[in-house]
Copies of this chain bind each other. A is one copy, B any other.
Amino acid sequence: MEKFLGIDIGGTNVKFGLVESSGNLIYKKKYPTAEVGEDDKFIKNFKKILTKQLEKNPSIKKVGIGVPGTLSKDRLWTLELPNIPGLEKKRFLGELKDHFSNITFHVENDANAAALGEYYFAENKVPDNFIFITLGTGVGGAAVIDGQIFKGGDGNGMEIGHIVSSNGKTIEENIGKKGILGMALTTLEGYEGKSVLSEMGVLNPKKVVKAAHGQDVLALEIFADVGKYLGESIVSAIRLLDVKTVLIGGGVSDTFEYVRHSMYDSINHYLTPYYTDKLDIRLATLGNEAGIIGAASLCFIDD
């Protein structure tokens, strides 16, 4: 079976993984991003590590790389990578192609890579058209249209976290981790009922999740609001992209039950049966290794 190298470059770690064409991850190794280096050293050190990995696995002919930020439309250049300044505005793919001339490289935004990973390797077959939303510190997005990553006009579409929601904030300001914490603090302030949130000391998003797990009414209200805004983001994205399948990834699987009901309320409020009749909203399935496997799935892109 053909094997690919998938590389997930994140703000904390750079993860390398050997992935079979079935999507099976057979080996992985991670390097702290800070150690890989800053400024011009990043690409230099990255090339060294990559050389080592390729020497260990001489059968590898294709490498896919996911990066947390924006790229030029032709993917030769990185643009903005707020969490990895040393890799910003660099001719990253260009240099890799020059240096490793017998290897085919693909570089993509990490949400796009994760979406493509789901497309090829999700537990249940995903259709050719879908939206992917990833929830976490930020709220990221991607879309696959006709089986291909949707890049938009200039290469960096699907910034779904930054669209407008019904309270005038962006989706991310509402339902990113900071947004959830902010909602908890604001709601708690005027709250007259009893909530475990007022007894947990300095709040953080994890504590809000924990309170919801304990069926705390206020925490559940907060996640109901999260569902409302998540639903709105799905409405606007579906209206513009005309897809009927939505995958939701990121660290949401254990709170999805708390947001589901109000999410569908939003959706049913705004969308017509043309959309809702076939609507399928599901959790992404690749989990922890979504980054590596998604990066490897870029190797399926035709050149």
- In the complex, are the beta carbons of B166 and A168 less than 8 A apart? yes
Binding site for B on A (CB under 8 A): 70, 79-80, 128-130, 141, 143, 145-146, 151-160, 162-168, 170, 232, 235-237, 239-244, 270, 274
- In the complex, are the beta carbons of A152 and B162 less than 8 A apart? no
User: If the complex has contacts A154-B244, A244-B154, A274-B70, are A239 and B163 also in contact, measured as CB distance less than 8 A?
Assistant: yes
Closest to A236 in B: B163
Task: For A270, give its contact among B145, B170, B235, B244 (CB under 8 Å).
Answer: B170
- In the complex, are the beta carbons of A240 and B243 less than 8 A apart? no
Q: Could you tell me the distance in whole angstroms from the C-beta of A246 to the nearest C-beta in chain B?
A: 11
- In the complex, are the beta carbons of B239 and A162 less than 8 A apart? yes
Closest to A144 in B: B153
- In the complex, are the beta carbons of B159 and A240 less than 8 A apart? yes
- In the complex, are the beta carbons of B165 and A240 less than 8 A apart? no
Cα distance A130–B239 in the bound complex, in angstroms: 17
Known: A153-B242, A156-B242. 15 other contacts (CB 8 A): A128-B153, A143-B153, A145-B153, A146-B153, A151-B242, A152-B243, A154-B242, A154-B244, A160-B240, A163-B235, A163-B236, A163-B239, A163-B240, A164-B232, A166-B167
Using Cβ atoms and an 8 Å threshold, which residues of chain B touch A155? 242
Q: Could you tell me the distance in whole angstroms from the C-beta of A110 to the nearest C-beta in chain B?
A: 16
Q: Could you tell me the distance in whole angstroms from the C-beta of A227 to the nearest C-beta in chain B?
A: 14
Using Cβ atoms and an 8 Å threshold, which residues of chain B touch A244? 153-154
Using Cβ atoms and an 8 Å threshold, which residues of chain B touch A79? 274
Cα distance A18–B77 in the bound complex, in angstroms: 46
User: If the complex has contacts A162-B270, A166-B167, are A153 and B232 also in contact, measured as CB distance less than 8 A?
Assistant: no
